[in-house]
Amino acid sequence: MIRKEKLEELKSLIEQLKTVEVIKREIEEKDKFLKSEAYYFKLNNGIIIPREKLIKGSSDGSAVIVMPVLETKEVLTVIEPRVFTSLTVGVGFPAGYVESHKNETIKHAAKRELFEETGYATEKPLIDVDSFYQDEGCSSALNHLFIAKNCFKKSYQHLDSDEVVKYMLFNYEELFELENLGYIKGSNSKLLLEKSKKYMEV
Amino acid sequence: MIRKEKLEELKSLIEQLKTVEVIKREIEEKDKFLKSEAYYFKLNNGIIIPREKLIKGSSDGSAVIVMPVLETKEVLTVIEPRVFTSLTVGVGFPAGYVESHKNETIKHAAKRELFEETGYATEKPLIDVDSFYQDEGCSSALNHLFIAKNCFKKSYQHLDSDEVVKYMLFNYEELFELENLGYIKGSNSKLLLEKSKKYMEV
């Protein structure tokens, strides 16, 4: 356990650095997916710092990532174009942006993305694994990790016009091999894989 | 071990989805940190998809993250304004962008960021923990995780004009408490904390 005095010291540093005032500099208005907003932030200690915030479409880009597990214990992975990576294709878990402009909940987003990308669904409640900031320094995107157990094939895929998604089943242990072989290479899938260990019987 | 046929099936799906042609749509030229580039990508299966790529400053934003461990086994953490997060301040590990426009190596970047943000250094070789894509869908940023052992205080901090960084020492076990308490909340630090386990005697 962290000593109380140490935690108080940390809290006092945090207090000093807290934002107390936000001044807008520039908001981009244009027909692109990636946009940015520029601000100045006045901290509690009086220092003023400039920061830019990444915007994706009509939201901050908060995403959900779901590890779908079947009754057979196999795990569903998706294979997608990842055009900016060295392989130009990535292996990972079903994922997508929360439709916050439609007031979508994160659990709804997780089930929706799983269904749209793979046609799989579950009747069980999702396991809430963790959440984290995707890019702390210049985004408010808060990503959420889920495990969906007892998944079954319910339908065909329902993909957007610019989505290309293939899928494959692997055993849980094989996922770590795929990671070691360099096929699973994205932060979201890697973090979900690590954090899933305590929920899966290895 | 993954069966050979299964790995072949995966490789064939990857082959179908590989990028075979890149067509530039629009490159932003402006005096901002966050910019984007728009492209069309022709995949091996004939499908053409639009994608936008995030640019940070004069690079793709590839970063290094370092867990500095002292001879006492204490771990150095940094406390910084994270103005877009709910707490507006974050706790994590020293990190920063690789200066690829200066042909900087990732290990040099890791040692430089550690030194600039904290004044700490090490004479030991860095431990190469893992690498991952920060935001696979719209960035080529490849982040690298390191552990720096036998760190010692060498100097004062050397911060950029818009950097505000405090630091504190914690025991390794306390880091997991800080994570559970919600102070360590960024993907980079969380992934480094998870992946560090096999290099640290817990």
B63-199 belongs to CATH 1.10.20.60: no
- Nearest-CA distance from A78 to chain B in Å? 10
B202: pLDDT confidence band, cut at 50, 70 and 90?
Answer: low
**Testing the interface with B: which of A15, A48, A97, A135 to mutate, by most B Cβ within 10 A?**
A135
Residues 6 or more apart whose CB falls under 8 angstroms from that of A50 comprise A25, A38, A39, A40, A41, B162
Q: How far is CA B142 from the centre of its chain?
A: 7
pLDDT tens, A149-194? 999 999 999 999 889 999 999 999 999 999 999 999 999 999 999 9
Q: Tokens 């560090």 correspond to what residue?
A: B196
**Rounded-to-integer distance, Cα B88 and Cα B101, Å:** 30
Specify the pLDDT at position B27.
Answer: 73
Specify the pLDDT at position B89.
Answer: 96
A23 touches chain B (CB under 8 A): no
pLDDT of A51 strictly over 80:
yes
Coil/strand/helix, residue B122:
coil
pLDDT tens, B47-82? 999 999 999 999 999 999 999 999 999 999 999 999
DSSP code, position B7: H
pLDDT of B26 strictly over 90:
no
- Nearest-CA distance from B161 to chain A in Å? 9
pLDDT tens, A53-110? 999 999 999 999 999 999 999 999 999 999 999 999 999 999 999 999 999 999 999 9
Q: Tokens 């984290």 correspond to what residue?
A: A132
What are A36's two structure tokens?
């940015």
Q: Tokens 């990028």 correspond to what residue?
A: B19
Going across the sheet that includes B19-27, the strands are B19-27, B34-43, B48-56
Residue of A nearest to B41 (CA): A83
DSSP code, position B180: H
Residue of B nearest to A33 (CA): B52
- Nearest-CA distance from A121 to chain B in Å? 23
Residue of A nearest to B96 (CA): A137
A75 touches chain B (CB under 8 A): no
Q: For residue B22, list chain A residues with Cβ-Cβ distance below 8 A.
A: 83
**Rounded-to-integer distance, Cα B71 and Cα A36, Å:** 42
Label residue A73 left, alpha or beta by phi (over 0 means left) and psi (-120 to 50 means alpha): left
> Do A79 and B187 make contact, defined as CB atoms within 8 angstroms?
no
A159 touches chain B (CB under 8 A): no
User: What is the value of ipTM here, to two decimals?
Assistant: 0.94
**Rounded-to-integer distance, Cα B199 and Cα B196, Å:** 5
Pairing between strand A63-70 and A142-153? Answer: parallel
**Testing the interface with A: which of B14, B51, B84 to mutate, by most A Cβ within 10 A?**
B84
Residue of A nearest to B173 (CA): A1
pLDDT tens, B92-138? 999 999 999 999 999 999 999 999 999 999 999 999 999 999 999 99
B42 touches chain A (CB under 8 A): no
Q: Tokens 């006092």 correspond to what residue?
A: A12
B145 touches chain A (CB under 8 A): no
B88 touches chain A (CB under 8 A): yes
Average pLDDT of span A118-142: 97
Structural domain boundaries in chain B: 4-56, 63-199
Choose among B67, B61, B62, B41: nearest CA to B52. Answer: B41
A24 touches chain B (CB under 8 A): no
Choose among A145, A147, A125, A123: nearest CA to A133. Answer: A145
Specify the pLDDT at position A1.
Answer: 87
Helices and strands in chain A: count of H runs, count of E runs? 4, 11
pTM: 0.94
Q: What share of chain B is helix, strand, coil (3-state, %, to 5)?
A: 25, 40, 35
- Nearest-CA distance from A150 to chain B in Å? 23
Residues A66 and A94: beta-carbon distance below 8 Å? yes
Q: Helices A187-196 and A172-180: crossing angle, nearest 10°?
A: 140
> What is the number of CB-based contacts under 8 A between chain A and chain B?
219
Q: Which of A47-51, A96-100, A175-179, B29-33 has the lowest mean pLDDT?
A: B29-33
**Rounded-to-integer distance, Cα B188 and Cα B93, Å:** 8
What are A35's two structure tokens?
């946009």
What are A68's two structure tokens?
């779908």
- Nearest-CA distance from A123 to chain B in Å? 28
> Do A168 and B10 make contact, defined as CB atoms within 8 angstroms?
yes
pLDDT tens, A193-202? 999 999 997 5
**Cβ atoms < 10 Å from Cβ of B72:** 9
Host H or E run for residue B154? none
Pairing between strand B142-153 and B63-70? Answer: parallel
